[in-house]
């Protein structure tokens, strides 16, 4: 198994190459290391190699890892399906919630944020493939949802997130990335503060270069960074 540091070097080269093809500055792309099932010692290796942001799918798993790695400076983002009753704990553990997809969750996060005297950055998750197995709003539901949640004072909507259908050929996923970028552009046209809507979280280990070419500002990398996922 390659070291995380070696994998990170390779990924960073790929990020720079994709940005070059798209005429973008590589500084505009943040790599999020996805830590689902990854052992703490391997995550620590990644942080020490230069990873600044980690993404976790489960609140309880994240709490264990954040405590074990509390001596290191790293930001945690929540990237899984968040139950409304976990909103308060998630607010305390994560710097950003990337999977806001329903009004009940928005209100729970808002309530917890206001009680804590803070604002929590969020991304709205869009289900571009209309997959029943995945969370996220249907694209046509995005605009009325954004209008409702943008009035919640405890939330800062920063952009959109998507988990498109898996395809072996990244070119088959490109239309989903392009659609998410277009949706964000349309949202920006509808808000008095378009500069706040700057993030597109899309692209994973097998297709992140294509996502970058289509405008991704955050890519979520697990297997290519930490190695094959451990499953029980």
Residue 145 host element (H or E): helix 142-149
Number of compact structural domains in the chain: 1
pLDDT, one tens digit per residue, over 154-202 is 999 999 999 999 999 999 999 999 999 999 999 999 998 999 999 999 9
Q: What is the DSSP secondary-structure string of 47-72?
A: HHHT--EEEES-HHHHHHHHHHTTTS
Q: Tell me, what's the pLDDT at 160?
A: 98
Distance separating alpha carbons of residues 49 and 57, to the nearest angstrom: 22
Nearest to 45 by CA among 8, 94, 79, 82: 8
**Phi and psi at residue 128, in whole multiples of 5°?**
-65, -25
* C-alpha distances in Å from residue 182, one per residue of 16, 71, 154, 186, 188: 23, 40, 26, 6, 10
Domain holding 116, by residue range, is 4-226
pLDDT at 10 over 60: yes
pLDDT at 231 over 90: no
pLDDT at 21 over 70: yes
Q: Tell me, what's the pLDDT at 2?
A: 81
Torsion region of 106: left, alpha or beta (phi above 0 gives left; psi -120 to 50 gives alpha): alpha
Average pLDDT rounded to a whole number, residues 40-62: 96
Q: Tell me, what's the pLDDT at 228?
A: 83
Nearest to 84 by CA among 104, 65, 69: 104
- Confidence (pTM): 0.95
Residue 158 lies in a domain: yes
Average pLDDT rounded to a whole number, residues 116-125: 97
Q: Tell me, what's the pLDDT at 1?
A: 61
Q: Tell me, what's the pLDDT at 115?
A: 96
Burial class (CB in 10 A: 0-12, 13-18, 19+), 12: middle
Q: Tell me, what's the pLDDT at 98?
A: 98
Distance separating alpha carbons of residues 212 and 177, to the nearest angstrom: 9
Q: Which two tokens stand for residue 210?
A: 């294509």
**What percentage of the chain reaches a pLDDT higher than 70?**
98
Could you identify the residue written with the tokens 């493939």? 129
Are 161 and 126 within 8 A, CB to CB?
Answer: yes
Torsion region of 26: left, alpha or beta (phi above 0 gives left; psi -120 to 50 gives alpha): alpha
**What percentage of the chain reaches a pLDDT higher than 90?**
96
Are 64 and 76 within 8 A, CB to CB?
Answer: no
pLDDT at 124 over 80: yes
Q: Which two tokens stand for residue 220?
A: 């979520």
Which CATH number fits the domain that encloses residue 79? 3.20.20.10
Residue 231 lies in a domain: no
pLDDT at 232 over 60: no
Average confidence score pLDDT of the chain: 95
Q: Which two tokens stand for residue 106?
A: 């928005």
Distance separating alpha carbons of residues 203 and 212, to the nearest angstrom: 8
What confidence category does residue 55 fall into, taking pLDDT thresholds of 50, 70 and 90?
very high
Residue 163 lies in a domain: yes
Q: Tell me, what's the pLDDT at 230?
A: 62
């Amino acid at each position: 198994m390659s070291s995380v540091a070696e994998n990170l070097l390779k990924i960073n080269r790929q990020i720079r190459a994709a940005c070059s093809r798209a005429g973008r500055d590589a500084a505009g792309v943040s790599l999020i290391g996805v830590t689902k099932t990854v052992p703490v010692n391997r995550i620590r290796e990644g942080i020490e190699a230069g990873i600044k942001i980690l993404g976790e799918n489960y609140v309880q798993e994240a709490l264990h890892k954040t405590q074990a790695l509390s001596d290191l400076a790293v930001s945690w983002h929540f990237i899984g399906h968040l139950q409304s009753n976990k909103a308060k704990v998630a607010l305390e553990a994560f710097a950003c919630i990337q999977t806001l997809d329903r009004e009940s969750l928005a209100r729970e996060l808002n309530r917890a944020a206001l009680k804590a005297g803070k604002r929590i950055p969020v991304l709205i998750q869009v289900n571009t493939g209309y997959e029943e197995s995945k969370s996220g709003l249907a694209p046509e539901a995005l605009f009325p949802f954004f209008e409702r949640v943008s009035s919640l004072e405890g939330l800062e909507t920063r952009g959109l997130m998507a988990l498109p259908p898996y395809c072996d050929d990244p070119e088959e996923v490109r239309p989903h990335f392009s659609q998410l970028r277009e949706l964000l552009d349309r949202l920006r046209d509808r808000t008095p503060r378009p500069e706040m809507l700057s993030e597109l979280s899309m692209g994973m280990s097998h297709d992140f270069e294509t996502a970058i070419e289509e405008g991704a500002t955050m890519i979520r990398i697990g297997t290519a960074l930490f190695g094959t996922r451990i499953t029980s």
